[in-house]
Chain A
Amino acid sequence: MTLVNWLLQGGQEILGILLAPLLMGWVGIWRAWLQNRQAPPLIQPYRQLFKLFHKEVVIAETASPLLRVTPYLLFGCMGLTASLIPMVITDLPLAGAVDVIALVGLLSLARVFLALAAMDVGTAFGSLGARREMLVSFLAEPALLMVFFTVASLNASTSLRFMVTGFAARGFYLYPSLAFAGVAFLMVLLAENGRIPVDNPETHLELTMIHEAMILEYSGRHLALIEWANALKLLIYFSLGFALFLPFGLTDSLQGWEILRALILFLLKLTVMGAGLAVLETISAKQRLFRVPEYLGTAFLLAVLAILLHYLLGS
């Protein structure tokens, strides 16, 4: 635990916060390309955030203070979560305070507040969005937890740091249970980030929207913070996926060139997987809302199977 570690953790948080809109932009570009549209510039999300920050905030008459607190809380939680995941180095000083279970709890704390804020104004859409968000989450959250459980039992630790170094210590090994967990994680990633089979981030079509319905009453800097937090969430899930399933490149040492290599690898992984996400979204169709529990139930059961398989095959 040195000052350098703390600085690196802080640096990672800032890196995450700055990088998140870029990832959104990158996925957006690929989606546009794949759909034969003209792509927006890569920095479009930054422009949007900049514009929103400068607009005036309009708050509904029936809103309580909860509505105004939530964006800050959401952004704070997401920023914190981003700093907890080993993106570049694994030896993060805060990693001991928050293990994966607490990480799931932290994400869910942010979500509960967002859902409550959506219900705060008392409009039809707000409560609809909150209800749907909770519907998605009550299956996605346990699925995520089970994915973590699988990896945790492989490495006998729930701390992200030891999960990653556990993989590194054993070298190359094919874990069948990870195949299941990986599929489940991908499904959860799509659902939790409001991606295509579950929700469409680019729609305001009332019948299908989930996330957008919750934040209809937000405007100005509050909206900017929420959108940013949302982008951060995508980045968080990506880096979680990298840490669990593609941990190569992550370093435990503090040498400059190793960190640089890890950073470059991380960016490379983001580039490839961001494009992959766009491809995945383009080739699949949005599901009916009541197919969503089925979809997420499948993810949950796959994750459960993963952990079963781990015990059954007796690694």
Chain B
Amino acid sequence: MSHWNPAPFAQQLLDLFASLLLLIAFAMLSQRRILTLIHLFAWQGLILTLSIADSAWLTHQPHLYYSAVLTLIIKVLILPLLLHRLIRRLDVVWDVETLINIPTTMLVGIGLVVFSFNLALPIAHFSSTILRNTLGIALASVLLSFMMMITRRKAVPQVIGFLALENGLFLAATSATYGMPMVVELGVALDVLVGMFIFGIFFFQIRETFDSLDIRHMEKLKEE
């Protein structure tokens, strides 16, 4: 065993966290149950937190610690709890129907991964940060979450997809520029929280109107 040096280890850890984030994005894409979906989302938040903390340590950027804590509180604790309560209240602990079957979705997902890595390749060459490897992964997980929103039929998974998309964006931000300015991050976090509340209110309204959370019913809302 070679001489122990923590810096490369932290670097490897960062790649590992990014890959785990991607893995969870794929897991969410292939998951049918809402409850598991929420758990996966919480796990993704936790890994994001760890990854941000790790890069904070690695790059000696103290403000990243704050955003790690912020992520932990909002994405690992508050949002999953809210979602939990939401689905209990709405009584929607059902299997999620998908529009396209799951292997096909995954296949498209692989295509997206290749695509986003190609996209990130020239940018990564210019980027001087040590985190450039993860940019492609971050982009891929953004696209995957986007795809999850497209392929789901029910409103709740779509919202989870939206939140997961935000996770990917966060990772992209830390890997490309060592995080956004603190003000922006705080603002985004607040936005997500407020967005969550609004989504919750919308869910109740949608269900009251259509007796279901199936977004297909929204197709009626067009001009005849």
Closest to A173 in B: B12
Closest to A312 in B: B117
B26 touches A297 (CB 8 A): no
A3 at the binding interface (Cβ < 8 Å) = no
Smallest CB–CB gap between B14 and chain A, Å? 9
A282 at the binding interface (Cβ < 8 Å) = no
Picked from B15, B106, B109, the residue with its CB within 8 Å of the CB of A176 is: B15
Given known A171-B1, A183-B23, A305-B113, contact A298–B106 (CB-CB < 8 A): yes
A313 at the binding interface (Cβ < 8 Å) = yes
A180 at the binding interface (Cβ < 8 Å) = yes
Smallest CB–CB gap between A218 and chain B, Å? 34
B19 touches A179 (CB 8 A): yes
Smallest CB–CB gap between B80 and chain A, Å? 20
Interface residues of B (CB under 8 A from A): 1-2, 9, 12-13, 15-16, 18-20, 22-23, 26, 30, 101-103, 106-107, 109-110, 113-114, 117, 133, 136
Interface residues of A (CB under 8 A from B): 171-177, 179-180, 183, 293-294, 297-298, 301-302, 304-305, 308-309, 312-314
Interfacial chain B residues near A171, Cβ < 8 Å:
1-2
A297 touches B19 (CB 8 A): no
Closest to B4 in A: A172
* Interface residue SS majority, chain A: helix
Q: How far is the CA of A308 from the CA of B19 in the complex (A)?
A: 11
Picked from B1, B18, B30, B110, the residue with its CB within 8 Å of the CB of A172 is: B1
Interfacial chain A residues near B113, Cβ < 8 Å:
305, 308, 312
Interfacial chain B residues near A302, Cβ < 8 Å:
23, 26
A176-B20, A309-B19 provided; 16 other pairs, C-beta below 8 A?
Answer: A172-B1, A173-B12, A174-B9, A174-B12, A174-B13, A179-B19, A180-B19, A293-B103, A294-B103, A298-B30, A298-B102, A298-B103, A301-B110, A305-B113, A308-B114, A312-B117
Interfacial chain B residues near A293, Cβ < 8 Å:
103
Smallest CB–CB gap between A180 and chain B, Å? 6
